[in-house]
Amino acid sequence: MAKVIAEYIDRLVNTEMRQMGGLPRGTTHQLYEAARRYHKDPLTYLAASKLIENIKPNDNVIIATGAGVPPWLPKGETDGPLGAASIARAIDIGLGGKPILVGEGRCMSPVAATVEAAGLMVCDEDLFSKRDHVAMTLEYPLGEEKGTKFAEELMSRFNPKAIICIEKHGPSASGKYHSIMGVGREPDTVANVKFLVELASSKKVLTIGVGDGGNEIGFGNIYDDVKRIQKYGPKCQCPCGAGIGTVTKADVLVAAAVSNWGAYGISAMLAFMLKKLRLIQDVDMEYRMLEASIRAGAMDGLYTDMSMYVDGTSCETQKSIITILREIVSNALVEQPRHW
């Protein structure tokens, strides 16, 4: 039954409604279909079931997020922090796992504010080790050299049982990073989380990538499809010419219309599989999470301002996605039909 539920959760979170003109249209279903061909099973089912298999109480889990660079997105986007906070919360309440959030230093105050709005206090390592319903945030240093060292430090210091990347860009074949519109970025302007994912992968630690464009960690699984589907897939707008698609793979790729929604889909599947509806945040919490991220400086990736939007979709839409996800899960958890 879980696969049937996930089939429709996958479809809901892959409903494309981005504004015309600003971002590519008509790509969401193609990226999703390619990811399904690669993985066979529904994507949110795969991610949730592997998290349940791999995370035991008190296991550390690293969640990476943070997209956007100054001057347009000086503290990052609203897409990413909310998904990361939703998953962090579901892992804490549902599995007793310990969430550690990492990303560019410039993005971490919105991430921390969002995680707290989701009910987990952000604290230091001492308190983190002593109680539940808390999270830690760490700055992932910019650049390749520091990024490699930090990946090694994270693995040895925390022994994480899963690495989850939400809207976290991975490099193209040239080693450069690219926006969805094909604008190139040097590795020393971003957190190179790919080193963490590659190291975790070599140690057989679960890796999950959630993304919406093809340039995020995980889309390396369907590299040739991204090249074919995205406008700047075959060739970027920068001199490297490699195209926007990332080469960085993950054990599970969750493709979605908005990365946050992919993460909410995983939380919803955890809610269904662990029979606890509250693992997926409610609409009031969703509102608080979005507001908190923006008050702390996150901006909508399309409008690049501090309005209550995510990837050009309104706050009402975020709440509607949550409403439908919760309805799917709560109706699926009914064992005897209700009579009115």
Residues contributing to the site for Zn ion (CB under 5 A) = 176, 184, 236, 238, 240
Which of 23, 240 has the CB closer to Zn ion?
240
Q: Least distance (Å) from Zn ion to the CB of residue 247?
A: 13
DSSP code of residue 205:
-
Q: Least distance (Å) from Zn ion to the CB of residue 197?
A: 21
Closest C-alpha among 258, 266, 254, 264 to residue 310: 258
Q: Least distance (Å) from Zn ion to the CB of residue 182?
A: 7
Which of 238, 257 has the CB closer to Zn ion?
238
The edge-to-edge listing of strands for the beta sheet with 206-211 is 121-122, 134-139, 98-103, 60-64, 162-166, 206-211, 252-255
Which of 138, 238 has the CB closer to Zn ion?
238
CA distances from 1 to 50, 52, 117, 127 (A): 16, 16, 32, 39
The separation between CA 193 and the C-alpha centre of its own chain, rounded to angstroms, equals 13
| Bridge partner residues of 299 (DSSP) | 77
Q: Least distance (Å) from Zn ion to the CB of residue 238?
A: 3
Q: Least distance (Å) from Zn ion to the CB of residue 304?
A: 21
| Structure-block tokens of residue 201 | 């992968």
Which of 29, 185 has the CB closer to Zn ion?
185
CA distances from 153 to 147, 200, 321 (A): 10, 12, 37
Which of 94, 214 has the CB closer to Zn ion?
214
Q: Least distance (Å) from Zn ion to the CB of residue 227?
A: 13
Which of 224, 327 has the CB closer to Zn ion?
224
Q: Least distance (Å) from Zn ion to the CB of residue 192?
A: 16
Spatial separation of the C-alpha atoms in residues 255 and 224, rounded to whole Å: 15
Which of 184, 213 has the CB closer to Zn ion?
184
CB 114 within 8 A of CB 85: yes
Instruction: Name the phi and psi angles at 122, rounded to 5.
Output: -85, 125
Count other Cβ atoms within 10 Å, centred on residue 10.
Answer: 24
